[in-house]
Amino acid sequence: MPPGKKLHASGEDYLEAVLVIQKKKGMVRSVDVSRHMEVSKPSVCRAVVILRDGGFLTMDEDHFLHLTDMGREVAEKIYERHCFFRDKLIAAGVDPKRAEYDACRMEHNISIESFEKLRDYYSSQKGK
């Protein structure tokens, strides 16, 4: 992410939601994000304006949301972290709903360096 383009956890969550919905359905509207995240439509509208102004997504004339290259990069990284933590928590015996919730918190609070070290460590342990 370019310097000066700081996102809060909620912005990252919206980008991640757009990515997940796009992977499932192909096209994404604000109402899809609202349902997926269980937030109000006005909340999504505010987030869309902020993310659009920040260069993370666009909205076409049919009101479909599209991640920009920068938005996709952020969303993919957050989604990778989310899946990593969710899967590890479930493997450790955590209830899947709790694992989803906790993974969402963990994905935003861990440093890039620590996440990469954990990911690489677990990847190297698979064959052992």
How confident is the model at residue 98, as a pLDDT? 97
Q: Domains for the chain: give ranges and CATH numbers.
A: 9-68 (1.10.10.10), 75-125 (1.10.60)
d(CA 114, CA 36): 29
Distances (CA, A) of 59 to 45, 53, 63, 71, 116: 11, 11, 5, 13, 32
How confident is the model at residue 62, as a pLDDT? 95
For the chain (length 128 residues), average pLDDT per consecutive 10?
A: 70 96 96 96 96 96 96 96 96 96 93 94 80
69-87 b/e (C-beta count within 10 Å ≥ 16 → b): ebbbebbebbbebbebbbe
Structure tokens at 107: 């994905």
**Backbone phi and psi for residue 66, each to the nearest 5 degrees, phi listed first:** -135, 130
